Every structure is written in C-alpha cells, then in structure tokens.
Structure 1
C-alpha cells in the first residue's frame, strides 16, 4: 500500500500534505477559540449584563465540552475510521459556532459553547492521530512542528484577532469567522484525506464516558459556584461529593472492565505517558487561567480596548509562535524530560515575574512575564502532541491522543474555575477589608469586591460615589492587583511542580522509536544525560 510505503520511507504523499493542511486549519480554529473570547468578554458582559460566573462559564463550557468526549472520540475514530469521525467533528463545530454567533443571551451562548467544545473534542483527539498515521521520522517532526506552530499562532494572536473583530465587526464575529474556515477545511478533507483505522479497534465504554463526563461537570460546577454560594454550603459540598462518587465509579469501571475501559489501561504502564498526562493537566490548569486574568488586568484595570489589549500581548504571542516553530525540530533531538521540563519552568518563571506589576504601572511591567510565558508555552505544545502518540503503537494513536487531550482540557476547565474563584475570593476579600469599602458599601463591601473582580475598578467609580470616588478607585485597584499577584503565585507553583514532574518521569526509552526516528539515523533517542549540548 502507498500508505505503508510512505510510513516506512518517511516520504510525503499529497494526501499527507492535505491532511496536515486540514488538521492545521482545524487546530487553528480550536486553539483560537480558547483565547479569542477573552478579549471580547467585556463586550459580552455589556451586551447580556453577565455575572462573573457567567463569563467563566462562557470560557469553561467550551473546555468542559472538550474534556467530556475526547476519550470516546479517540476510541470511536480508531474503531470506525479517523477521517469519518474528524469530518463529523467539523460539522458539529461549524453549526455550534453559528449558534454562538447568533446567541440572544448568555445562557444560549454557554450551551452553544458546550456543543462547540463537543465538536472540538473530536478534532482535538483525532487530529494528532491522523498526523501520526500519515507521517514518520523526520517528516513527523516537521508535521508536529507545523501543528504546534499553528496552535501557538492561534493562542498567540487570539487576543489580537479577537480584539480586531470585536471592535470592527462586533463580538459575534469571533464565532462567525469559524464558519467559512470550517467549511473550507471540511471540503478539502472530504476530497483529499485518506481513511485510517485500527486493526484491533477498542470497544466504546458508554458507562465510563457518562461517569467521567458527569463527574467532571459537577467538579467544575463546584469550583465555579463556590465563591458565590459559599464553600461550606450544602450545594457546593453536594457537588463535590457527587463529583468524587462519579469519578470513583469511573475508576472502578476502568479497573474491573479492562476489555471495555475508556482509558486504555495498558498505556498507564508507561511511565512517560503517565508523567506527560499529569504535566499536560497541570500546564493547562496554570497557564490558561493566568492568561485570562492577565488580559482582564490589561482591559479592566488599565482600560485598554479589545484590540489595543491584543497589540500589547504581542511580546508573548510572537515568542510563543517562534518557540513553537522551533520546538517541532527539537522533538527527535532532545530528551523529552529536558524539552518539556524546561518549558514548564519557563512558564513558572514568567508567572512569578508578574509579581513585578504594581498599582499605577503601565502595561510594560508585564513584558518580562510575557516573554518567559510565551517561550514556555511555545516549547511545550509540539512535543506534547508528538510524545502523546509516540508512547504507543500507531493503531492506538487515537486513544492515546484522546487521553492526553482529555487531561489538557480537564485541567483547563478546572483551572479556569478554580484559579478564577481564587482570584475572585482574593480581590473581594482585599477590597472588603479596606476602611474605604466598609465606610462606603457597608455590608455590601464583599459584593462590590466581586464586581471589581469581574469588571475592574471602573464598575464602581460612578458619579453616585461623589467625593469618595477617588478613594474607592484606589482601594479597588490595590485589591485587583493584590488578587492578581495571589493568583499568579498559585499558578506559578503549579507550573513549577509540573516541570519537576517532567524531569522525573519523561524517558526517551518509553517512546516508539520508529515514530520519532529520522530515516537513515540510529533510532535511539537521546536520554537526558546524552542530550545534545547547545
């Protein structure tokens, strides 16, 4: 077969190139929708009078939809055909994007974002598996370099693109822009992509999918509502209890039904796979909520417009793109522990650098943090995608990719909820403790603090405050920056832990040598102590 020949020799076919184009287009839209919404949130909040919790749900519903069916999507693709499942994901994604753009209220938008995430989950899970099937050796490094570069480009320029669309056409176009791009990807994929599937397809695990998705839903719901309902309230404690019971039931199902488990349990015998899964979750849990809060800082406290905010994030975005492009070529050259571990420590250093920001500073105080975060994120994305499928044989690539993407999206959903709730708590507490807040707002000081977390100090500085306006703004700015510092420290610690785990668990010998090897070059990948010296 031509496919087999291409795989053995490392040669590229027309189908391989078109597959890369389609996967890259889909990846661009998916990653764009993780960040493009951030800068439009103030406009969405104004249009629908949304609460801070609703704004978090607009972000989290997408991530939650992604996390819920990634494993099932990967398993289904291995079973009935990756191209068929990928095309189905494109159809779901484009219809949901249209619904987002036409949403009449924030509840409809949240539901549409959830469905959009379900379609995106299919594309996230199957895309890397399609690339893994089409490319080998040096070409695989090239393919995942492009994959990571495009993902980096979308994350990097998301704020700029979102800001431009929001200001010029309105916030609805950050979703409507997906429609023509998705239709083009669907047409090219239908005509040019080859079908592939596993010779020994795993069965679908419906009980596992239901318990995992429901457990994750209640876990995220508890984190998101904890600040408003009270962490000791019956509703929040009930959500945590239900989430734990469902996730325990899921674990039981996976252990007692190995032949039908949604998690391919054989993969968890691979130390590198386990380490990469944990690192992926921690990275998403730390850095994506941090970006959400940094964009909020630039818009809601410094007062920049959506487009102007995107421009000021160019130091992060450009370095992220460049680092992602370079990282693809390093996948087969550097030890996994060195490449992934270094990326996490760079992110941690960047998050700690945000502590340099103080009340009254300009946006340039963020530049050191932006540089480090951009480099770290760029270095992480291509090796994560490549190593996640290199830990197993090609016939299990969909399941392996689905598991890794599940860890990423679960980390993202929980991170936005948990770090967002922590930020809101810190801002509200810091503001409520000030003498100004007590004097002006009395018993409603904490409620005012929550409003500051959602929309910045400007939401309180109205003419109704009279002579107290300046004092209230000063207290609100201090509370906002204090909350930002606390949230960045939390995220930085998580990123640092992620880096340590990467250095301790990722091993070259756990990877499929044929998957990463360059034709004509010995297949042994460098270990950490043999890694090339720059």
Structure 2
C-alpha cells in the first residue's frame, strides 16, 4: 500500500475540486431562500468557480513547472480550504460568490498539477494503474456531486456542502507533505500575466453581459457595457498573445481546423450536458416540491451512465479517428437534451430520466477522448498547451453555457407570464427563475393562489423546454462540426529541443 499513498493524496484533492463543480446545483434553492438572492447571483455561484478554473488553469500550470508542482498543489489545497470556509460562513450572496471565485483559484492550482504529480511519481505499469485510478476518481466525483449535495443539504443545510471540504483538505495536505515528493521542470518560463488578465476580463465580462441580458434585457446599459468590455478585452487578448514570446495560449493553434473544432466541442459538451442541471434543480425543488436528496437522485442517471460508459468502454475509444467518439458523444447529448423537451406542467421528475441517460451515455463516450483527440491533431511538442486548452474550454463552456441558458430560461418564463396577462412579467420571471415561485404563490390573495400556482407550474417547464431545445441543437451542430472538420493529422514541423512556455503535463481529462 505504501507506494500508493501519494496517489491517495492526489486523488483526494482531485475529487474535492471536481465534486464542487456539481455539488452546488441541488443547494441553489436553499441558498436562494437563505440569502434572499436573485437568479443572477445564483448563476454566479456556479459561474464564478468555473470562470476562475478556466482563466487560471494554464497560468498555474506554468507556475507549477517553474516553482514546483507539489508546492503549488499545497498552495491550491490551502486556498481551497480557506475559501470553502468562507463559502460556508458567507453572510450574503456577494460574499458567497467572492468565496467561490477564490475556491476556483485554488481549484485551478490543484487541477493543473495533479496529472503532472502522478506522471513524475510513478512510471511503467504503476503509472498506467495510477492514471486509471485517477480517471475513475474524476468520473466518481461527477457521479457523486448531485447526490452528495442533496444529502448534505437536507441533513445539515447548504453550508455543509462547503464546510465538508475542510477535513478532506486537511487530510490531503498532511498526506501530501508526508508522501509526495517535489518535482519541477527547472525552467524559467515567463508567466503571461497580461494575457491571463485580458482573458479573465473578457470571459467574466461576457458572462456578466449574458446574465444581465436575462435579468435586465439586451438593451440595458449594464448589458451593453459588459458586452463591449468583453469584445475589447478579447481583442486585447488576441493582440497580446500574438506579440508574446511565451503566450498563455498560442493562437496559431486555431489555424488548425481540427484543433478549433475540438475546442468548440469541449465547450459545447459542458454547456449542453451540465449547464442546465442547475435550472432543473430549481424546477424540481421550488415547483415540484422535491427535497434536495430527491432532486439529487433525479440528476444521478446522467452521471452514472457517463461513469459506466467511460469506465467500461474508455479503453476501446482511443483507436481510429478521434472524431468518432467525440462526434458520437455530442450527438447523444443532443438527442438526450431534445428528449427532455417533453416536460410540461403535468410532468413529474422522472420524465427527465430517459433523456438524462442518453445524454450521460454521450458524456461517457466523448469525455475520455477529448484530450487524446486534441493531442492527435497537434505536434507532440504541443501536448502540454493542447491538454491545458481543452480543459480551459470545458470550464469556459460551463460558465458561458449557464449564462446563455439562464437568459433563455428567464426569457421564456417572461413570455409565458406575459401571454397569461401578468403585468411586469420580466420582473416576476426573474423572481420565479431564481427559485421564488413558492413566495409568489404565498403572496397572492388566498382565493387566487390555485390559479397562480397553476400558471407558475406552466412557466418553469416551458422555460426548461426552451433550454433543452437550445442545448440539444448546439450539441448536434457541434457533433456535425467535429465529424466534418476533425482529422488525426499532425502538422509536419521539426520538434524543438526546448520550447519555452510549453508545458508537457498540464490539465486532466
């Protein structure tokens, strides 16, 4: 057992940071009720974490190679633990969002180092075994997130989903200090601070603008300013990266159509398969009245299907064209999302299960080969930046996807309310989308409550149907894009003896 203690330390951190991507979904309605927060704030509880992961993953990979992977992993664990405590004690929605962003910063440091630590700790058959276990932990974290969130929320309240990280982090730190050895490339790669800053501003402003559009409208000053800032920051990022000797993301990679298609696939996969789960949880708990545990159980079929396929079939998915499993997986995700458009006012929670299972099969088919598909279309010396990029786009897809689908969700609810004769439908739609349906019903005159409850029972499923339609079409279009554009051809280029700025083991599958 002794040789495997480093793997235990690494997997503890991996499990913790990946669980926190999905564990929050079923806790959103209790958070909304406890902190009296808006729908936009609820979105930022998820998006703040995902954006921090996306923005800092490649930068922390450079820092880890330069200053030591074990050292940065420990820093990440420390930041994650302290910010988890801040999340658990947050007195307001703003404080919770800020703590979630800090949590994402710690998660990025851990996410960027775990694969490299395994690669430098083990070799030969043990390395293969270690990566197999680590991959299974990745899948298990996704499978456990919704159910674990429901159990903790129902037993001890929503704050427990964050406070539970503290003993796990302490154990991971103690084990890492005791059994994990330091490793570093010894290089002197320059950290692309300007590139990271402009990328972060562009991503955050884009998400802010999309969230504002759902809450205030596309013509609102805040929406327009945020989207203009996003465009300006993106333009600055492109200029900076083209001029940098060691860019955070080498934009010349996007000249390869296969690489570009896989980045789109990575983003759409996260958006279409996972971003809508937070909205589903709001329907399950605030309209259908399910407990957090039961809401977590409804989402479980997707995770279990994905885990089963990736565990059983993952070893057979790496032969042949990488386009096949990625395109096939996206197609299944699209079909699964479209299957869920059957939800209406009379539907129970289990109406979602067939579509969730099909989507989960697609996730299990596509996810294990995303990184290997990326590497198959790049020269070998681009392996580090390629693997980091695909994971960055996965997290960015989750953040942007939730913002887009949240805007669609709120807009459709407002449309149904308006057609039902409700005045100020936009404001009421924001309240309902944020989990405020029970409060709206309670505030209505006693004689009108059945009619109000019936109307709200129609609006949220209608909003979900629109969300599932957008998610399904996006996944099918991405599947077609991958099938047409991705070819496993490495550009012919001499392999350099030393390539500053490239990191050979950054990110994870």
TM-score (norm 1): 0.85
Give the Cα–Cα distance (whole angstroms) in 2 for the partners of residues 394 and 193 of structure 1.
Answer: 28
Tell me which residue corresponds to 2:98: 111
Shift of 1:90: 1.4
Q: Distance in 1 between matches of 2:157 and 2:361?
A: 31
- Report if aligned partners of 1:39, 1:163 keep a CA contact under 8 Å in 2: yes
Distance 1:456 1:33, change over 3 A: same
Query: Structure 1 201/267 Cα, relative in aligned 2: closer, same or farther at 3 Å?
Result: farther
Matches within 5 A, 1:477-492: 477-492=457-472
Q: CA deviation at 1:155?
A: 1.9
1: CA distance, partners of 2:125 / 2:22: 31
1:455 alignment counterpart: 435
Q: Does 1:384 align with 2:364?
A: no
CA shift in 2, pair 1:327/1:100, >3 Å: farther
- Conserved 8 A contact 1:282-1:495: yes
For 2:327 and 2:231, how far apart are their aligned partners in 1?
30
Q: 8 Å contact 1:345–1:499 — kept in the other structure?
A: yes
Partner residue of 1:355 out of 330, 341, 353: 341
Alignment-derived partner of residue 158 in structure 2: 171
1:133 and 1:58 map into 2 onto residues whose CA distance is 35
Task: Name 1:413's counterpart in structure 2.
Answer: 399
CA distance in structure 2 between the partners assigned to 1:83 and 1:328 by the alignment: 29
Whether 2:487 is the aligned partner of 1:500: answer no
The aligned runs of 1:178-189 (5 Å cut-off) are: 178-189=165-176
Q: Distance in 2 between matches of 1:139 and 1:476?
A: 56
Q: Distance in 2 between matches of 1:430 and 1:193?
A: 57
What is the alpha-carbon distance in structure 2 between the residues aligned to residue 306 and residue 48 of structure 1? Answer: 17
Secondary structure, in 3 states, of the residue corresponding to 1:462? helix
Q: How far apart, in 2, do the equivalents of 1:37 and 1:67 lie?
A: 18
Distance 2:316 2:242 in 1: 37
Which segment drifts farther, 311-320 or 469-478?
311-320
CA RMSD in angstroms, aligned pairs only: 2.7
Q: Does 1:204 align with 2:184?
A: no
Give the Cα separation in 2 of the matches to 1:131 and 1:498.
32
Contact 2:215–2:410 at 8 Å: present in 1 too?
A: no
Are 1:226 and 2:210 counterparts?
no
Aligned residue-pair number: 492
Q: Distance in 1 between matches of 2:491 and 2:242?
A: 24
In 1: Cα distance, 2:235 partner to 2:133 partner = 39
Does the C-alpha gap of structure 1 residues 175 and 479 become closer, same or farther in structure 2, counting only changes over 3 Å?
Answer: same
* CA–CA separation in structure 1 for the residues paired with 2:347 and 2:464: 14
Distance 1:188 1:397 in 2: 30
State how far apart, in whole Å, the 1-side matches of 2:135 and 2:367 are: 5
- Report the alpha carbon displacement of residue 265 of structure 1 after superposing the two structures with TM: 4.7
- Answering whether residue 290 of structure 2 is matched by residue 324 of structure 1, we say no
Give the 3 Å change call, closer, same or farther, for CA 375–143 of structure 1 in structure 2. Answer: farther
Counterpart of 1:525 in structure 2 is: none
Map 1:28-43 onto structure 2 (within 5 A): 28-43=15-30
Query: Cα gap change, 1:18/1:396 in structure 2, threshold over 3 Å: closer, same or farther?
Result: farther
Question: In the alignment, is the contact (CA less than 8 A) between 1:100 and 1:109 conserved in 2?
Answer: yes
State the alpha-carbon separation in 2 of the partners of residues 325 and 350 from structure 1: 20
Match of 1:371 in 2: 357
- SS across alignment from 2:311: helix
Confirm or deny that 1:87 pairs with 2:74. Answer: yes
Aligned to 2:47: 60
Q: Is the 8 A contact 2:318 2:372 kept in 1?
A: no
SS, match of residue 353 in structure 1: helix
C-alpha change, 1:467 and 1:421, in structure 2 (3 Å) is same
Note the C-alpha offset of 1:116.
0.3
Query: Would the aligned equivalents of 1:125 and 1:405 in 2 still touch at CA under 8 Å?
Result: no
Structure 2 residue 229 is matched with structure 1 residue 249: no
- Report how far residue 458 of structure 1 moved: 2.7
Q: How far is 1:490 from its partner?
A: 0.5
Gaps spanning 5+ residues in structure 2: where? 493-509
| Cα distance change, pair 140–498 in 1 and its aligned pair in 2 (3 A) | farther
Using structure 2 for the length normalisation, give the TM-score. Answer: 0.89
Query: CA separation in 1, counterparts of 2:185 and 2:390?
Result: 18
- Judged with a 3 Å threshold, the aligned counterparts in structure 2 of structure 1 residues 337 and 511 are, in CA distance, closer, same or farther, namely farther
Q: CA deviation at 1:127?
A: 2.3
TM-superposed deviation, 1:251: 0.5
SS of residue matched to 2:23: helix
C-alpha displacement of 1:250: 0.6
1:77 is matched with 64
Per-residue Cα deviation, 1:42-94 (whole angstroms, up to 9, x for no partner) = 11111111111111111111112112211211122233332222222111111
The answer on whether the counterparts of 1:146 and 1:325 sit within 8 Å (CA) in structure 2 is no
Tell me by how many angstroms 1:331 deviates. 4.3
Q: State the Cα distance separating 1:239 from its structure 2 match.
A: 1.2
Q: Distance in 2 between matches of 1:403 and 1:381?
A: 14
Q: Are the equivalent residues in 1 in contact too, given 2:152–2:160 (CA < 8 A)?
A: yes
Per-residue CA deviation, residues 336-356 of structure 1 (Å, 9 max, x unaligned), is 212222211111111011012
Change (3 A) 1:147 1:344: farther
Task: Please list every run of 5 or more consecutive structure 1 residues that lacks an aligned counterpart in the other structure.
Answer: 1-12, 513-534
